[in-house]
Amino acid sequence: MGSTFFTKVQIPSFEWKTDYKTPCLFTGSCFTENVGGKMAGLKYPVDINPFGILYNPVSVANGLRFLLQKKKFTENDLIRHDGLWHSFFHHSRFSSPDSGSALQTINSRIESSAALLRNAGFLFLTFGTAWVYEYKLTGQTVSNCHKIPAKEFRRFRLTPGEIVEKYRQLLSEIREVNPRVKVIFTVSPIRHWKDGAIENQRSKATLILAIDQLVRDFGDEFCNYFPAYEIVMDELRDYRFYEEDMIHLSGSGINHIWNVFQTAFIEEESLKISKEVQKIMAATSHRPFNKFTKEHLHFLRQSLQKTERLEEKFQYLTLAVEKRHLQKQIAEIEKHIRD
């Protein structure tokens, strides 16, 4: 009945599914973190944004190429501004007042993510905008301007052809190092409103056209498109699905897309397991008014038993952090009761 009150987006029938045994790499805009974060919260083996949030296709491609090369960044790859060392290829979360610390964080993340890419079952790429910033001094397309004055950059919009050309060779190289990987493109539904309504639409249209061409070129046995943008534009055409800024999605909007996503991409057994994992995560985050009670101790012991049984039954699950948390809480309460 409810479905008659909105236009339903037809989701492609994806032949492949992921599960708790399959590593997945998510990279791209902040929407990537919304969906990838849902999987991480349910303990799926995922790696999310090894270069931080990246908005444009060129920056996403640069990051992937560095993973293929297993690049080691040096101080020559950094720039110092406002007392911090930055990488133009990384989000500001990797910046640091100490160059050595920044390089340690950057290189350790590249090392682990490069290894995961070679074993990943899925690579999820989310493009946010076709607009890019080019650092005039070097001609380099940057992932983040790091508050350096705008006059030092050239800003322009990519064409669909430029994006396609960038990815034709890159996707071929990725398939060479990992023949089993499936690439799923999405376009972020979060609007870049500072460009205005018209330019935002032109930017999103550029991304959609480029992705369509890549899927046609490579075939849907290797890559495909998940219509997150279209779901928001057509199924969630109501400002109650947005935050107060009327641009970013609210929790209920993200949850709607997540439900569509997991139905499309996660196999049935793992969906059932995730419901049990969710109960364990709720137990570890539960904060009672008075935790030093026998009732709460009983609740924690039961939760620990469920965690151990689940991990024993599905040995590819990793719930060590949750077990340690529960064990620590149990020991603290037992000591309090004894004393």
Domains assigned to the chain: 2-266 (3.40.50.1110), 275-338 (no CATH)
What's the rounded Cα separation, in Å, for the pair 29 and 188? Answer: 7
What local confidence, expressed as pLDDT, does residue 15 receive?
86
pLDDT reading at 203 higher than 70: yes
Segment among 3-17, 49-63, 285-299 with least mean pLDDT: 3-17
The span from the first CA to the last CA of the chain, in angstroms, equals: 59
Q: Give the confidence band of 247 by pLDDT, cuts at 50, 70, 90.
A: confident
pLDDT tens digits, residue range 150-197? 999 999 999 999 999 999 999 999 999 999 999 999 999 988 888 888
What local confidence, expressed as pLDDT, does residue 112 receive?
98
What local confidence, expressed as pLDDT, does residue 336 receive?
85
What local confidence, expressed as pLDDT, does residue 230 receive?
94
What local confidence, expressed as pLDDT, does residue 242 receive?
81
User: Residue range 112-141: average pLDDT?
Assistant: 97
What local confidence, expressed as pLDDT, does residue 260 receive?
94
User: Residue range 254-272: average pLDDT?
Assistant: 95
pLDDT reading at 241 higher than 90: no
Beta bridge partners of 134: 141, 154
| Cβ density class 252-266: b for 16+ within 10 Å, e for less | ebbebbeebbbebbb
pLDDT reading at 315 higher than 60: yes
pLDDT reading at 5 higher than 80: no
Mean pLDDT of the chain: 93
Segment among 83-87, 174-178, 250-254 with least mean pLDDT: 250-254
pLDDT reading at 3 higher than 70: no
Beta bridge partners of 154: 134
What's the rounded Cα separation, in Å, for the pair 113 and 70? Answer: 9
The C-alpha angle 85, 86, 91, rounded to 5 degrees, equals 140
With beta carbons less than 8 A apart as the criterion, state whether 125 and 185 touch. yes
With beta carbons less than 8 A apart as the criterion, state whether 30 and 53 touch. yes
What is the pairing mode between strands 182-187 and 223-225?
A: parallel
- Structure tokens belonging to residue 324: 């340690």
User: Residue range 118-128: average pLDDT?
Assistant: 97
Tell the residue number behind the tokens 């290797």, with chain if given: 222
- Structure tokens belonging to residue 41: 């919260």
User: Residue range 35-42: average pLDDT?
Assistant: 95
Calculate Rg over the CA atoms of the chain: 22
Tell the residue number behind the tokens 């689940």, with chain if given: 310
Helix (H) / strand (E) containing 169: helix 160-177
What local confidence, expressed as pLDDT, does residue 1 receive?
39
Q: Give the confidence band of 257 by pLDDT, cuts at 50, 70, 90.
A: very high
